[in-house]
Chains A and B, each alone.
Chain A
């Protein structure tokens, strides 16, 4: 039941975003469509229930977005520097990154965040290993790789999803 309500809320908010209108006709259509889709699909849609809207989790989600935006801006200045310099300072390679996260959803968000942070691009996920293309390999030590690439995100994601 809790999962069903969670799915319905997410779908209804998405409907509100796409129509951007508070007219009663739109609201009723959106509610009916969201109810039908949520009834059919809530088992495959999510593993989370309404407990996902706990204030502590909301706070962590906002923190994740903030950390992510700062990393995105930093990575863009990094890319800009590498692209504009005539000598093209790159030393690429593919490294293995061991994650401590268990949930699949958390791994998806970790891989996406890693792709948009400075100089890294995730290529594949097998079990608890992420294969990451690094534009400037500074070390092959697993400890350094872990701290350098994803330690910040990992901490926050663990609090959100586990």
Chain B
């Protein structure tokens, strides 16, 4: 019974963070800041929602845990790939004033072996 209440709490908090992440994606000024809001908030939101459901239905717990681990590993990797792809395709980051720093601009043109 107590597990059900913890599950309901986790699902509610998770959904709240999913909504905040979506709001961040709409409000932020450029791709990189949107990635920041999107990745972090949707990751915790999805983790909370999915594990919460696993606690409400205890026989589903292991499968939901697998999904949660997969999301926690895969989400940062896809945002990393997307950020690098955006920079290589020529999108400059939004800087607040003229002396904002961008050290990645110096190495962008060098060919690096991977």
Interface residues of A (CB under 8 A from B): 17-18, 20, 72-73, 75-76, 79-80, 82-84, 88, 90-96, 111-112, 115-116, 119-124, 126, 131, 133, 135, 137, 140
Contact = CB atoms under 8 A, between A and B. Distances in A.
B66 interface: yes
Main secondary structure of the interface of B (DSSP, over half): helix
Interface of B: 17, 20-21, 23-24, 27-30, 32-33, 35-37, 39-41, 43-44, 62-63, 65-66, 72-73, 76-77, 79-80, 83-84, 87, 93-96, 100-105, 107, 112
Nearest to A76: B44
Nearest to A114: B76
Given A20-B62, A92-B93, A95-B103, A135 B40 contact: no
Given A79-B20, A91-B100, 16 more contacts: A76-B41, A76-B44, A79-B41, A83-B20, A83-B41, A92-B100, A94-B104, A94-B105, A96-B104, A112-B73, A115-B79, A116-B40, A123-B80, A131-B104, A133-B32, A140-B101
Nearest to B16: A80
Nearest to A17: B66
A93 B100 CA distance: 6
Contact of B36 (A20, A88, A111, A135): A135
Given A80-B41, A83-B23, A92-B95, A121 B79 contact: yes
Nearest to B66: A17
A71 to B, nearest CB: 10
Nearest to A120: B36
